[in-house]
Amino acid sequence: MRAPTIWVTLMEILTPHTPGIAMIKKLHEMGMRSEHAYTAAFASIGLSIATWAMSLNAEPGAGIARADRWGIFIGEWAPTFFGLGLALSHYEQSEGTLLASVSEIREERAAM
């Protein structure tokens, strides 16, 4: 038996019968991959900068505070997408599908 430790891995915490893994499993089955979440995270960073600049230029009377709020609002999406990408990556590693494409996974499941 393993001695209890303070440090445990994410997969030890999120066992298959917890709602978090069920959501990640469903997203994976729908074809969402960790790469998609990481791409969305980086896109939201760019979108955050773009909305800040557009708000600053489009609404000159509103001031910089409004532009900052828009940038921060969109900027909050990036950590969410990075976390989702990390969870999907852990799930893909445990399933052995980290390097497989979505079409390969669908073909394999259809053959079953």
Look at residue 67 in the predicted model and tell me its pLDDT.
Answer: 77
112 residues of the chain, pLDDT tens digit each: 444 444 445 555 555 556 667 788 888 888 888 999 999 999 999 988 888 888 777 776 777 777 777 778 888 889 999 999 998 888 888 777 766 666 676 677 677 7
CB atoms within 10 A of CB 100: 15
Q: Is residue 14 part of a domain?
A: no
Q: Is residue 15 part of a domain?
A: no
Q: Is residue 102 part of a domain?
A: yes
| 61: containing domain | 33-111
Q: How far apart are the first and last CA of the chain?
A: 36
| Residue 100 contacts residue 35 (beta carbons within 8 Å) | no
| Residue 77 contacts residue 46 (beta carbons within 8 Å) | no
Write down how long the chain is. Answer: 112
Look at residue 20 in the predicted model and tell me its pLDDT.
Answer: 66
Domain count, the chain: 1
Q: Is residue 78 part of a domain?
A: yes
Q: Which helix (H) or strand (E) holds 69?
A: helix 64-75
CB atoms within 10 A of CB 55: 19
